[in-house]
Amino acid sequence: MTIEEMCDALRAKFGADGLTPDTRFGDLTITVRKDRLLDIVATLRNDPTLAFDQLLDVVAVDNLKRQPQGTDAHEYDEDERFEVIYIFNSTSHSHRIRIKVILPEDQPALPTMVGLYKSANWGEREVYDLMGIHFTDHPNLKRILTHYKFEGHALRKDYPVDREQWLDETEPLIDELLLQLKQSQVEVRLEGP
C-alpha cells in the first residue's frame, strides 16, 4: 500500500478532521488528537489491509528549545511542549506508519497501549522515565533506565546535562516480583521474622 492509499484509507475511516499527514523524507507520519489515539491504533492493527502487527518503538520529543530553521519555521508554545511518536511496522505488508500525538507542558498524559501491543509496556516506561509523560492504566509505570530514586526526567531540555545525582541504593524490586506473581495467579504472603 502506498502512502497516498494509506492516507485515503484512514481518512475514509476517521474523516479528515484531526488527522494531519506529513510525508517528509518519504515516510508517513500522522498527527492525531489524544482522545482518538487508541481508536485509530486499534484500526491500524486490526484492519487486514493495514495489519500493523508491530509497535516498534515509542519516542518522545521535548519541544522546549526547538526553533526549526528554513522553510517550515514554526513556533512551539506551551501547548506543544511534548510530542510522542509511535512507530508501527507491518511484517505481512512491509509498510510502516508513525502516529504522533502532541501534548501540553502541564501534566502530559496518554492512555496506555499495553492492551494492543505488549511492546508498549517497556516503550512507555522508557518515555515516562526519561521524559516524564504519564501513561494512564499502565500496569507497571516505573522508571526503567535511571535509578528508582532519580529526580527529574533526564531527556527533558530543561534538565542540565551536567547535573549529577549520587544514587547507590539497590532497588528492592520485590514489588515487581509480587506483581508478576499476581499476574501468573500464584497467591503468596509475606511472613515476618
Partner 1 sequence: MTTSTADVVLPPVDELKHMTLVRVEDDEELMLVNLGPAHPATHGTLRILAALSGEKIIASAVEIGYLHRGFEKMVEQGTYMQVIPYTDRLNYNSALMNNHGYCKAVERMMEVTIPDRARVMRIILSEMSRIIDHLICLGAALVDLGALTNFWYFFNSREHVYTIIEKVCGARLTTSHSRIGGLMRDAYDGFEDDVIEWLDGMEKAREEVLGLILNNRIFIDRTRGISIVDRESALSYGYTGPCLRASGVAYDLRKAQPYDGYEAFDFDIPIGSNGDNYDRLMVRFEEIPESAKIMRQAIDQLKPGPIIVDDARVRFPKKQDVYFKIESMVNQFELVFKGIQVPAGEIYDFTEAANGELGFYIVSDGSGRPYRIKVRPPCYYIFGNYTEMVENQLIADAMTTLGTVNIIAGELDR
Check binding of 79 to partner 1 (CB under 8 A). no
Cell 507542558 found at: 105
Binding residue (CB under 8 A) for partner 1 from 118, 133, 136, 165? 118
Check binding of 141 to partner 1 (CB under 8 A). yes
- What is the distance between the alpha carbons of residues 83 and 123, in angstroms, rounded to a whole number? 14
* Contact mark string toward partner 1, 143..162, x via CB under 8 A: xxxxxxx----xx---x-x-
Check binding of 56 to partner 1 (CB under 8 A). yes
- What is the distance between the alpha carbons of residues 6 and 80, in angstroms, rounded to a whole number? 26
Provide CB contacts within 8 A for 115, sequence distance 6+. Answer: none
Cα torsion 12, 42, 46, 92: sign: positive
Check binding of 175 to partner 1 (CB under 8 A). yes
Check binding of 47 to partner 1 (CB under 8 A). no
Nearer to partner 1 among residue 7 and residue 87 (C-beta)? 87
Strand ranges (E), 47-145: 54-62, 82-90, 95-103, 109-111, 134-136
- List residues near partner 1 by CB under 8 A: 24-25, 27, 29, 53-57, 59, 61-62, 66-72, 85, 87, 89, 91, 94, 96, 98, 117-119, 121-123, 126, 130, 139-149, 154-155, 159, 161, 171-182, 184, 186-193
